[in-house]
Amino acid sequence: MNDTISRAAAKQAVHDTIVSASTVARVWDMIDQIPAVDAAPVIHARWIGYPECLGYDGAYHDEHIVCSECHSVWNIIDNDTERFDYCPNCGARMKGEADER
């Protein structure tokens, strides 16, 4: 498995460990030549129960949930969102059960 690390943190670790300035500079150059990955930070969110959401039939239902990150409203029955471990709208990773609002 590949690990994504901070280039700046790696350079700081080299600087803190190696005494010779010329060696530090050579290692920093090697670190700069390592290809970078295209990575985005992982956003964590949770499903929030939305018991007073107006349903498609014009009545209030308790079958809707909301993403705590992007606030998208999802119908549990139509979208089967309880099986999603991420929000289909923003991609946030869901942790835990839905909280009632």
**pLDDT tens digits, the chain, 101 residues: what are they?**
567 888 898 899 888 888 888 898 999 899 999 888 888 888 999 888 766 655 556 666 567 788 889 988 887 766 665 567 888 899 999 875 555 44
Same domain, yes or no: 60 and 88: yes
Structural domain count, the chain:
2
Domain carrying residue 18: 1-38
The pTM (predicted TM-score) of the whole model is 0.53
DSSP string, 12-69: HHHHHH---HHHHHHHHHHHHHSPPP---PPPEE-EEE-TTEE-TTSSEES-EEEETT
Same domain, yes or no: 23 and 66: no
Same domain, yes or no: 67 and 53: yes
Same domain, yes or no: 56 and 96: yes
Same domain, yes or no: 70 and 90: yes
Same domain, yes or no: 58 and 29: no
